[in-house]
Structure 1
């Protein structure tokens, strides 16, 4: 009876031209759905939040280069994930884009394919064994699911692409070469109707991106964080904002440190040619060409694993040299205890971008490699620059730093980084070897010279804890009675002599006593570190053998840091030679003699000398 009565009611109201409740419900459901914003952030929209109603597709975008020598422009494999409303309702949305050489997998992690670090310095190393060619793992049409759950429900389209010579993308990997900048540029051009996309890697059936506004934000971590910066250096129209997380901004700074051959933390023996092998997963028919031209000719002919000198090969893989066209808003993220991609990578770029005047924020935390900014920061960034919502993010604090005991999602805002209140405080070493010497604010003359003997068998942490050893020099401040906040780059000026033509030089700034709690990290006591090649005391591009007994003076920076050293600790300057976790391993026995009267240390202390003086009273 109820159904019959409802039918009669429907007929009666229809005759009068009055819409029924059911019709009203239908009219609501047919209203167009769009992004929703609150407090300056894109909100999750229920209609966008059902993966079953997302459209997923893949295609190939044609680039402007031919890096694999087949006479045809390379095409990049691209995937797209977008709300169905971009198809059914003509909704146009901005894009969050990540590109990577890793989406199709990587090569063997067997350590036998890394360079053998047991060699004498400035000598020709034996060639390493190449990583075997591996088959790309591709799950079409989804290259990656990264960022999809975060951004599609908030009204963004998510796009991924594989880098040249990886996965189903054509071309050759170059590890920082121009094609790695131009490949994502082509994808952004396609999103804006300026480049062609195709349904297959070799076919002619085109596909267009008529579902986007053309505004693009790039994001990624490590290598994937490098590529947003690489794309931005092309000045491509449509790339409005980038969020590089732990980006490698210079392959020279990744594999060398003040010219010294230095390996990224956890990858002892890695160099740029190994990384090439590790990511190269492209078409096997083209691999021989890429290996011959890119790795065997360009890399081996120029990367100089003997002297480590800076040259045009490395300059071409340093994005600091390519910043002029960049106009995208940059939210940079890094960790102060990242010893893989060390924090200078973000610091040097952000410093240059400040001078350039583009919108910029920096997020630092106290952990290791990786670690995105909190979602609220990223959301505000992309909402402002991709949707154009005036949320005032450009007026927010310029620096956000996670303090030592805080969660990574709870950073403290600062006016800038380094802290504007930080001033350089100069310290001078006092003799004390083979035990510990002093590190004082006043220079005391006639400290003389002290000698250490290289022995890579001992780790840096072991040397820092040793009460008495000939394998390092250690100088300590008085015990702190108040907390000290360090912010910025520490630098050392050192005068030293060697009994051999070449030597490693490693410098650590440590906090003692050492924390040996079971759950403590090794970085708990390491404030910052630095490495240098004494053969390059006056030039990054030209090395010269050290003359036995001759003193050479050089000045270089340690890695940037922002850390509060608690009361009860002592700050220590440790000078040693080979760092077994980062440098080559020459035979023990090299002697380095340091002239203490010509050596000094500069630490950026918030409050300057006056504050530090009060903290040791």
Structure 2
């Protein structure tokens, strides 16, 4: 159990003394943790690594690894900085240990975690504070922790490459060095070699957002020695971070991000790299070679590491498509997988399910890096948050009874308010809306039962039994525009009262408290104590649980824009973000189609009016139980009330998100 404290600094010294005393007491027991994995059957049968090593006496060192690329064009191979914390006791016993690694561009510029921690160093340049709890918790348990500065950031050479070859190679080279395949040095420019002879070479990569993207990218190289990755709210394709089928998701591109995270030393020599990030990432949304290089999904067949993915189903920064397409590609290759899906936005599980997360992560690393037979590989594949702090599990995800089911919109009694069922609309059925860049998905959902000019909505009958959607879906739209450009949005809505995490508010579903809990050992310069959080909730009348967008100009060729012909129908398929949502009995399922989703996509150059051909518009949704489950749920008597006894408010609209994945939390 964690040690609970209040305030920010009051117990650091006492914690260090208590931790030291505990370690001395434990060290009287037989030294059984962290021998070289697999040396005997007894090691594999152990259930849990123990904190028997001194964190205070841990070795803290910096190594610069040659990445065999010259990104800054100075005629020398770039070196990336790796700050390492590892227990000293295994060295004296001749034991080798595995490594947990977080490769990040944010250690100096923007910080890591809910408290925006940055690396700190002593006067000699040795690491003092390493952000987050990984070193505090895992080093006493016999692991080394390596915090890698990506190319062009903090103390590393080279240029920021925003998920490209230089970024991925920054971390891959460290895995190679840990396995004796790359050169390391004791300084940034010196010639003295540094060996990783203390390491087994077995490595795990973990990280949120950009950091998790690099873990995905390194795994997609198939590098030997990388045993597992834990991507949290992570990107799987950088094109899909900046565009959705050509619709721009931000008003800037990767060059803006590069300028904000690069080290001062990299600014001048890296001008050519940043120019490429502009020239090869056109605002048209065309899919260029730059984006192809940064698509890790296409290389999923190379992945050898197991994957423990975590994603917020209301993450409006790194959206659910990233997780969904990565998960599906890994599944097709038979990669060992585990997943947590929460109701939060872009939030680390340490800040929404802390105790369970640390315990689960500990067991995951023990199994995959130390070979311990602790049973985690036999447990349910998925943990799903159904309501704030209420979780269920699934043996497989999506459940094996999930079937892609086609639902079709049709006109209703009033214009713009239609029906959603499995029956196709009659030929010639039409609905029309006008793009309104001042409205967003919450506005549309709140008005789904009223004719409004900015959207069209299609609603199922009230459900007689719960209906579960699990996985990724699509919406195919045939629309005739009045202008040469148009953007489309499609959202799935659960119509009915509920209490959800307030993902659209500051904190994205959590509230940070002043109280702290401690996870591992501390030193005066690196505390293991972090502010606790609670769920931030809101009562709502409707919940948007999946969405997707597209630029209609990309209808003919994915990734290549063409001007639209006004008055001519065009067909395009929008990818809905992966989710797992249960629409309760008494609620209704709605599909809304509209134009610009304010704050989530940028508007087109024109203000189009679009006419939908309903006979050629449909949704293909992952329904547990398939078409039969939908049919059963939408017929028969409704046995629960469809209205709330109180009058909950609608959740606020989505906030504009800075295009810095994971830099602030």
* TM-score above 0.5, yes or no: yes
Q: CA deviation at 1:145?
A: 3.4
Taking a change above 3 Å as real, the CA distance of residues 138 and 465 of structure 1, as seen in their structure-2 partners, is: same
Is 1:145–2:127 an aligned residue pair?
Answer: no
Taking a change above 3 Å as real, the CA distance of residues 254 and 29 of structure 1, as seen in their structure-2 partners, is: same
Is 1:278–2:255 an aligned residue pair?
Answer: no
Q: CA deviation at 1:69?
A: 0.7
Equivalent position SS for 1:403: strand
Task: Please point out which of 247, 258, 273 is paired with 1:294.
Answer: 273
Residue equivalent to 2:287: 310
Contact 2:485 2:604 in 1 (8 A): no
Q: CA deviation at 1:542?
A: 2.8
Taking a change above 3 Å as real, the CA distance of residues 606 and 383 of structure 1, as seen in their structure-2 partners, is: same
Taking a change above 3 Å as real, the CA distance of residues 273 and 412 of structure 1, as seen in their structure-2 partners, is: same
Is 1:179–2:166 an aligned residue pair?
Answer: yes
Residue equivalent to 2:383: 401
Residue equivalent to 2:483: 500
- Alpha-carbon displacement from aligned partner over 1:160-216 (angstroms, at most 9, x marks no partner): 110000001110000011111211122122222332222221112222222222211
Task: Please point out which of 455, 459, 462 is paired with 1:476.
Answer: 459
Residue equivalent to 1:3: none
Task: Please point out which of 82, 87, 93 is paired with 2:91.
Answer: 87
Equivalent position SS for 2:294: coil
Equivalent position SS for 1:218: strand
Taking a change above 3 Å as real, the CA distance of residues 247 and 594 of structure 1, as seen in their structure-2 partners, is: same
Equivalent position SS for 2:491: strand
Task: Please point out which of 37, 44, 50 is paired with 1:44.
Answer: 50
Contact 2:34 2:370 in 1 (8 A): no
Taking a change above 3 Å as real, the CA distance of residues 40 and 443 of structure 1, as seen in their structure-2 partners, is: farther
Q: CA deviation at 1:222?
A: 0.7
Q: How many residues align?
A: 549
After TM superposition, the structure 1 = structure 2 runs for residues 431-442 of structure 1, keeping only pairs within 5 Å, are 431-432=411-412, 433-442=414-423
Equivalent position SS for 1:580: coil
Residue equivalent to 2:406: 426
Residue equivalent to 1:35: 34
Contact 2:45 2:372 in 1 (8 A): no
TM score, norm. by length of structure 2: 0.77
Q: CA deviation at 1:588?
A: 7.4
Residue equivalent to 2:548: 530
- Alpha-carbon displacement from aligned partner over 1:69-94 (angstroms, at most 9, x marks no partner): 11111111111111120333333211
Of Structure 1 and Structure 2, which has the larger fraction of its residues in strand? 2
Taking a change above 3 Å as real, the CA distance of residues 404 and 554 of structure 1, as seen in their structure-2 partners, is: same
Taking a change above 3 Å as real, the CA distance of residues 564 and 176 of structure 1, as seen in their structure-2 partners, is: same
Determine which structure has greater relative contact order: mean sequence separation of CA pairs < 8 Å that are 6+ residues apart, divided by chain length: 2
Query: Partners in 1 of 2:614 and 2:342 — Cα distance?
Result: 35
Query: Partners in 2 of 1:204 and 1:242 — Cα distance?
Result: 32
Taking a change above 3 Å as real, the CA distance of residues 523 and 72 of structure 1, as seen in their structure-2 partners, is: farther
Task: Please point out which of 426, 433, 445 is paired with 1:452.
Answer: 433
Question: Is there any run of 5+ residues in structure 1 with no aligned partner, and where?
Answer: 1-24, 108-135, 264-268
Query: Partners in 2 of 1:539 and 1:41 — Cα distance?
Result: 53
- Alpha-carbon displacement from aligned partner over 1:208-265 (angstroms, at most 9, x marks no partner): 22222221111111111111122222322221111111211111011111122123xx
Alpha-carbon RMSD across the aligned residues, in angstroms, is 2.7
Task: Please point out which of 167, 173, 176 is paired with 1:189.
Answer: 176
Residue equivalent to 2:643: none
Task: Please point out which of 577, 594, 603 is paired with 2:621.
Answer: 603
Q: CA deviation at 1:31?
A: 6.6
Q: CA deviation at 1:553?
A: 1.8
- Alpha-carbon displacement from aligned partner over 1:435-492 (angstroms, at most 9, x marks no partner): 5221122224256212111111122211221223111101111111211111122222
Query: Partners in 2 of 1:593 and 1:31 — Cα distance?
Result: 75
Query: Partners in 1 of 2:470 and 2:398 — Cα distance?
Result: 5
TM score, norm. by length of structure 1: 0.83
Query: Partners in 2 of 1:137 and 1:158 — Cα distance?
Result: 14
Equivalent position SS for 1:165: coil
Task: Please point out which of 325, 329, 346 is paired with 1:348.
Answer: 325
Equivalent position SS for 1:430: strand
Query: Partners in 2 of 1:480 and 1:214 — Cα distance?
Result: 54
Query: Partners in 1 of 2:62 and 2:321 — Cα distance?
Result: 37
Equivalent position SS for 1:374: helix
Q: CA deviation at 1:523?
A: 11
Contact 1:513 1:569 in 2 (8 A): yes
